[in-house]
Structure formats: C-alpha cells, structure tokens
Amino acid sequence: MDAGCRITQTMRLRDIDYTLYLVTDRGLSRGRSTAEIVEAAVHGGATCVQLREKDCTTREFVEQARAIRDRLQALNTPLIINDRIDVALAVKADGVHLGQSDMPLELARAIVADTMLIGISAESIRDAVEAEKGGADYLGVSPIYATPTKTDTAPPLGLEGLRQIRAAVNLPLVGIGGLNHDNVGDVIRIGAEGVAVVTAIVAADDPEQAARSLRSVIEKARQP
C-alpha cells in the first residue's frame, strides 16, 4: 500500500460515526442470527458494529465476521472486532477494540499500523489519558452503569466519571454499560460522541425499532 492509499484509508477511518454503536452478544439474541440482528439494527440507525464473540472457535469467528463484514460494507457501516487482532486482519475489518487486559496498545498499533482503528476500553481517567498518549483512535468508557452482559469490569463510573474523562482527553468517547432508551441521552449531553448498547438492541423484540428509538433519543439530546 503506497503512502497516498494509507493517508486516504486513515482519513476515512477517522471519519467513523460512533453515534449508535452496537455490540453483539449471541447469548442475548433469542435464537436469531447475529447477522440478522446487525442488519436490522443498521436499518434502524446503528452507525457502527462491534462483533464480540467469546465462545466460538477462531474459524467460526472468522466465518461470521466475514459474512457480517460483507453485509455492513453494502450498508456503508464499519465493522470493529472485539479483542482479536488476528480475526480483524483476516477479514479486513475497519477496527479492533481492546480491553485493559488485552494486547497492549503499542503492540497492536505496530501490527496494524494505520490500516484500522484501535479502540480502547477506559475504566478510569488514567486509562483514558494513557490510551490517548498511546495513539488510540477512540475510547469505550465503561462501565457507565452496572451491566449483566459483562462482569469483569471496574465499578461503574456514572455520569460524573464520564464527565471527568471528557475533560481529560480529546478522543471520541463512546459510553457503554447499562445504557438504554432511558439514559443514553444523558451520556450524549455529557459530551460523548456516541453510546454503545448490547441488550437494548440485541435482546429487543424488534431490533430495528429499538435502534430507531435509541437513535431518536440521541439526536434529541444533541439539540441545543
């Protein structure tokens, strides 16, 4: 890839819209396929999708990621892979999201260079500041509230914790953890660029309508 292509790719990735960031969870899908839920959510207003798989083989992960990538490319929506840089590279995803116990940011950046985004989970101001210094592209600030979908997290930050991180860094912030129709507006009003949701869409009776409703709340919260 020549320098011009790298610059174009980097600029395109920096323009990603984090407004409504769907994180998948096969265990909450109520028998529906992840691809089905993803497509419905994007039609309803989801702007970014993170594929999270903890209990399948690498081959299954790659096959599912490739299929979802193809659907999302047709919908002009970015795909981010949770944890697995190898899978992200294999399917040419738009990015990878890393937690505090995953591969260190500097090693991940050395591997992917500018070919994809790297998002970092920030559970404290220190996490956020170090990630910004290390070259992260965005932060998943978590958990805002307690959530049953992830039990290996730090104590909830609450809105005040999010406010403090917003004041400490300039990176795009995506709030995650216990977010739903009733509280996503608060996260946006604090200054986050987006909200990440799992249960509120994946487990909904109608994922498309759930996404549409969440997007409406978000857009209203952005109004002066």
121 belongs to the catalytic site: yes
**Taking a C-beta distance cutoff of 8 angstroms, is the pair 23, 197 a contact?**
yes
Given 69, 84, 142, 150, which residue is catalytic?
Answer: 150
> Within 10 Å of residue 133's Cβ, how many Cβ atoms?
10
Per-residue model confidence (pLDDT) at position 149: 65
Given 84, 121, 166, 215, which residue is catalytic?
Answer: 121
Token look-up 């509230």 returns 145
CATH of the domain at 177: 3.20.20.70
* The dihedral formed by the CA atoms of 145, 50, 127 and 160, expressed in degrees to the nearest 10: -30
Helix (H) or strand (E) holding 39: helix 34-44
Q: Along the 224 residues of the chain, how does pLDDT read in single tens digits? A: 444 444 445 445 568 999 999 999 999 999 999 999 999 999 999 999 999 998 899 999 999 999 999 999 999 999 999 999 999 999 999 999 999 999 999 999 999 999 999 999 999 999 999 999 999 999 999 999 987 766 666 889 999 999 999 999 999 999 999 999 999 999 999 999 999 999 999 999 999 999 999 999 999 999 98
Given 52, 69, 84, 215, which residue is catalytic?
Answer: 52
Per-residue model confidence (pLDDT) at position 224: 87
Domain ranges, residue 154? 3-222
The closest of 75, 73, 93 to 83, measured between CA atoms, is 93
Strands 20-23 and 194-197: parallel
Strands 173-176 and 48-51: unpaired
From CA 194, how far away is CA 188, in angstroms rounded?
Answer: 7
> How many domains would you assign to the chain?
1
The model carries a pTM of 0.92
150 belongs to the catalytic site: yes
For residue 48, give both structure tokens.
């970014």
52 belongs to the catalytic site: yes
Per-residue model confidence (pLDDT) at position 68: 97
For residue 114, give every residue at least 6 positions away whose Cβ sits within 8 Å of its Cβ, in sequence order, or none. Answer: 6, 9, 10, 13
**Taking a C-beta distance cutoff of 8 angstroms, is the pair 96, 88 a contact?**
yes
